[in-house]
């Protein structure tokens, strides 16, 4: 087992020298793999109760479970480990389980407070954890000898994890008993642990997306608005040359919010999406929106394909029909060909955003989503949709913001409508 020198203090978690380990670095730094190996080795030394956190964990697959299982089936095979669908066990009584952190409700904070009797706590992707949740978590760790590990990519200059742990990144300083290290892939390249695919991809992104390369591979969040949801939107994604074609399939991408109702109309090819119109109505209904669509495109000759939010296929209490059924029935009544192409369940927001961003600007430098300038509100979303600082949560307008800024209510819904279609046709491939 090769253990890079900067990670070796992890092998002495039980020494008492450090009670907090903070590891930061870009992709390919192997920080997560080293932390997982160190945790398994520590579990072998004595009976431990361990937990591994991420910001959100709706399913076990959204944790580091797969990474641990792969290690147990590989280099830790025959060392006394076993696992089921929720935990990792060692024959000496050690247990490791997985959980999500969130500050969305009082219940989730109470759940954190119930973890006081834990020996080892690891927070993966700590750059996404909010200030409030980190504060609660740190106050919860009371057991003598407990050790915490934080692993993160420095996506911004002022992260809650560095604030809460009193990390002085600029001067590489940390409090007593905190081990802080930054590792990036160029310094471990000589170990020959990185695949040719990884190195070639890093070179491709360095060439075509230098800001992303600096942030994601070199841990340097400079020269890029890191809170933007649509990272590389530019004038190159806007084209006056786009035209509606009555003989091509028309993709009607929908979000069924009442105020405003926001739909987009697009054509697509094998690898590109062409948005030529948007339908945006305030204080309206699905029936009113489809009437407006028919007023514009009621003589369309080719098929109309319905895309969008999976929840639109659920029946509402105020109607015996789903939103999609209302739209489809209206189109068929007009004599149009219509079919739905939607998922049974919505993908995660992060996967949807990543899929859309890959169309805005691919790793090969090609832009695969083009929008006509008449799509005012879609372009507004591309330029103004943000994450909450230091998190992966969309910064959508509050009730007070809506009262003070009428345009704020147009933020989010039309992006949702189009990004559902982007993820449906070009989903992220798990490598």
Mean pLDDT of 98-122: 69
Among 48-52, 82-86, 114-118, 245-249, the least confident range: 114-118
| Residue 132: predicted pLDDT | 84
Among 35-49, 79-93, 107-121, 233-247, the least confident range: 107-121
Q: Is the pLDDT of residue 228 over 80?
A: yes
Q: Is the pLDDT of residue 430 over 70?
A: no
| Residue 185: predicted pLDDT | 92
Q: Is the pLDDT of residue 338 over 60?
A: yes
Mean pLDDT of 257-271: 93
Mean pLDDT of 157-164: 89
| Residue 181: predicted pLDDT | 92
Cis peptide before 260, with omega less than 30 degrees from 0?
yes
Q: Is the pLDDT of residue 263 over 70?
A: yes
Integer Cα distance of 276 and 267 in angstroms: 8
More confident residue, 150 or 171: 150
What average pLDDT does the chain have? 88
Partners of residue 179 on adjacent β-strands: 21
Q: Is the pLDDT of residue 104 over 70?
A: no
pLDDT in tens, 138-153: 888 888 999 999 999 9
| Residue 149: predicted pLDDT | 97
| Residue 404: predicted pLDDT | 63
What's the chain look like in SS3? CCCCHHHHHHHHHHHCCCCEEEEECCCCCCHHHHHHHHHHHHHHHCCCEEEEEECCCCCHHHCCHHHHHHHHHCCCCCCCEEECCCEEEECCCCEEEEEECCCCCHHHHHHHHCCCCCCEEEECCHHHCCHHHHHHHHHHCCCCCCEEEEEECCCCCCCHHHHHCCCECCCCECCCCEEEEECCHHHHHHHCCCCHHHHHHHHHHHHHCHHHHHHHCCCCCCCCCCCECCCCCCHHHECCCCCCCCCCCEEEEEECCCCCEEEEEEEECCCCEEEEEEEEECCCCHHHHHHHHHHHHCCCCCCEEEEECHHHHCCCCCCCCCHHHHHHHHHHHCCCCEEECCCCCCCCHHHHHHHHHHHHCCCCCCCCEEECCCCHHHHHHHHHCEECCCCCCECCCCHHHHHHCHHHHHCCHHHHHHHHHHHHHCCCCCC
Mean pLDDT of 227-245: 89
Q: Is the pLDDT of residue 292 over 70?
A: yes
Instruction: Identify the band that residue 120 occupies on the pLDDT scale cut at 50, 70 and 90.
Output: very high
Among 61-75, 199-213, 241-255, 402-416, the least confident range: 402-416
Integer Cα distance of 149 and 39 in angstroms: 9
pLDDT in tens, 49-90: 999 998 877 777 778 999 999 999 999 999 999 999 889 999
**Structural contact between residues 161 and 132, judged by C-beta atoms closer than 8 angstroms:** no
CA angle 199, 200, 203 (to 5 degrees): 90
pTM attached to this predicted model:
0.64
Which range is most confident: 2-6, 244-248, 381-385?
Answer: 244-248
Instruction: Identify the band that residue 258 occupies on the pLDDT scale cut at 50, 70 and 90.
Output: confident
pLDDT in tens, 5-52: 899 999 999 999 999 999 999 999 999 999 999 999 999 999 999 999
């Amino acid at each position: 087992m090769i253990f890079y020198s900067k990670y070796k203090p992890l092998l002495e978690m039980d020494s008492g020298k450090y009670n907090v380990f903070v590891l930061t670095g870009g992709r390919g730094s192997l920080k997560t793999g080293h932390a997982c190996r160190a945790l398994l080795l520590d579990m072998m030394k004595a009976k431990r109760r361990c937990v591994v956190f991420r910001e959100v964990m709706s399913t076990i697959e959204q944790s580091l479970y797969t990474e641990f299982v792969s290690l147990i089936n590989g280099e830790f095979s025959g060392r006394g480990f076993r696992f089921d669908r929720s935990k990792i066990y060692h024959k000496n009584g050690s247990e490791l389980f997985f959980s999500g952190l969130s500050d969305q409700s009082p219940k989730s904070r109470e759940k954190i407070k119930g973890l006081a009797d834990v020996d080892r706590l690891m927070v993966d992707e700590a750059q996404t954890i909010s200030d409030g949740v980190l504060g609660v978590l740190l106050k919860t760790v009371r057991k003598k000898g407990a050790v915490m590990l934080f692993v993160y990519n420095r996506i911004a200059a002022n992260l809650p994890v560095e604030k809460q742990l009193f990390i002085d990144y600029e001067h590489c300083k940390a409090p007593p008993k905190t081990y802080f290290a930054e590792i990036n892939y160029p310094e471990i390249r000589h170990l020959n642990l990185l695949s040719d695919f990884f190195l070639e991809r890093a070179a491709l992104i360095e060439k075509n997306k230098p800001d992303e390369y600096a942030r994601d591979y070199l841990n340097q969040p400079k020269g890029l608005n890191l809170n933007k949801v649509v990272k590389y939107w530019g004038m190159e994604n806007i084209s006056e040359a786009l035209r509606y074609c009555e003989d091509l399939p028309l993709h009607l991408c929908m979000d069924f919010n009442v105020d405003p109702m926001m739909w987009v109309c697009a054509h697509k090819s094998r690898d590109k999406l062409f948005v030529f119109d948007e339908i945006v109505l305030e204080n309206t209904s699905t029936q009113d929106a489809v009437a407006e669509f028919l007023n514009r495109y009621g003589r369309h000759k080719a098929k109309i394909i319905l895309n969008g939010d999976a929840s639109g296929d659920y029946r509402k209490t105020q109607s015996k029909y789903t939103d999609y059924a209302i739209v489809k029935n209206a189109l068929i009544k007009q004599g149009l060909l219509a079919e739905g192409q939607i998922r049974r369940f919505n993908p995660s927001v992060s996967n949807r955003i990543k899929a859309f961003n890959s169309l805005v600007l691919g790793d090969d430098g090609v832009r695969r989503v083009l929008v006509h300038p008449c799509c005012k509100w879609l372009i507004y979303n591309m330029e103004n949709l943000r994450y909450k600082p230091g998190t992966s949560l969309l910064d959508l307008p509050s009730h007070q913001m809506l009262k003070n800024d009428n345009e704020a209510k147009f933020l989010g819904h039309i992006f949702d409508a189009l990004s559902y279609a982007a993820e449906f046709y070009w989903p992220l491939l798990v490598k």
